[in-house]
Structure 1
């Protein structure tokens, strides 16, 4: 047996094998810039244009020489286990004086409705909007169209793929000795261990408590009529395009804190994605404390639930400025029957 093994070593020692290992990684580098525009209308959401370019790079490492391996197996080593362990599992009980079972309840604060008109004579009327009443801007409110504004974010991203080649040559012989083991269990001594299996909880009394969530119902008021070529609609002065609050100073708006018991309904009709139209919808719905619109187009009407049921025309929410938001490209907000408050910069 020994002579055969020596022969094997002699033969293997004269052989050499070569191979190449391959691994991959990539690196991404990007840079964005902001394009500015003038005139026209400030886009409510800032579109982003992204260009991606990809290149490949192959890197070859220095050749590595590693020895081949010969495995030698020796006789089996036997181990005898003379001690065994017996486990006893117990169940313990913890008593808690009181537990609370929570039950959910829903309260409908109000019903938000919005009109839709079906023209029976295939006329698509043009609408002229007039404004009634007066409005006093809050301190620092942006009320004029900016001379220039961010119009697009242009991003360029480069991706480099790296292929690493590691050539390897096998030569020489390394002997590895393997010793098999066998375990024989022949206990002469037993040790008993007591452990806790699990702990159960027992409640002496149970109290039921109700948590209330608030919601707003919705209703679409549909009218079918022969339409005139043009119509005139009247909005509150606070809902004029320059009066809906979209910026303070040189910065745009983000949300702040909300009142307790507040709930919001988002209007799915795209006609109300216009902040001025959304603002007027809040004025037309009893109990709407304020509205929030903007950022890619949405219209949210906010309501605060009264402890006695129904809506409460109280404080609704705060809003803040953020340094990386341009006026008109963040939130648009305005009060309804309640109050909304500017709370300053959010520190960003």
Structure 2
């Protein structure tokens, strides 16, 4: 092994781990958008080419995962088959698949998530480093160099959407982890699709954004498009690599389309959403949006898992390992 190989191998393992975590979200290998969601490292290790049809891409990825899982202990492989959606119903989201297996083996879902993370790490190690059965040496798999890391990622996002008051309010608490030293600005984005037909551009004067904790906004939010807003947040002091920071803000809007999703630009470990409709305004239908293309999140046509509000008129959902540029949340059909 050369020095250059040793220097890049951990980064290649990390890149493959991130792609594997993104792959297992939503419906896993049964996701209808698997072709667009499969990262470059997944495509490389499974032998996918640009000329492959969607069906061939799916079969190559499933076949490669099957071969990798076969090299793991059966208990770990079983978690892998559930995590990637290889076993069981093809219409269950990631956490539901883990919960089902957890009930079978009598383990809490958090324990299953930790074991699923361990499983992903083992697959990445085996894929990047091929151990020769008759030699002590190891050789690295031919993976592309990973792209530069994002400056931060979200460890946890908690959102409360309040719909039973005169004014719609969104409260967001976000905990991030810095990937660089001296992180002094955290750029954040919000999208508020217009309700009107034809659509009118969003007016910042009608969007009440207030930072309630975790730093300050030294410049006013700015419009990036007719529906997307950029905020630049400054923590009290610059963050170094690995340091956590929380910020908390509120958004007030007059109207809202019947869905709410988190579509992270960078990786997100966990997203919790509570939507309060109120007991007197429970929608006729509520559904889960789990790892879908952002352009389809508002579409009420696709078949999705149904959700029910509790006695207080609230819906709670939770997601893990959110893939960048995919949407997670709920949609509803007003009664």
User: Would you call these one fold, judging by a TM-score over 0.5?
Assistant: no
Where is the strand percentage greater, Structure 1 or Structure 2? Answer: 1
Higher RCO (Cα < 8 Å, 6 or more apart): 1
TM-score for the superposition, normalised by structure 1: 0.17
Where is the helix percentage greater, Structure 1 or Structure 2? Answer: 2
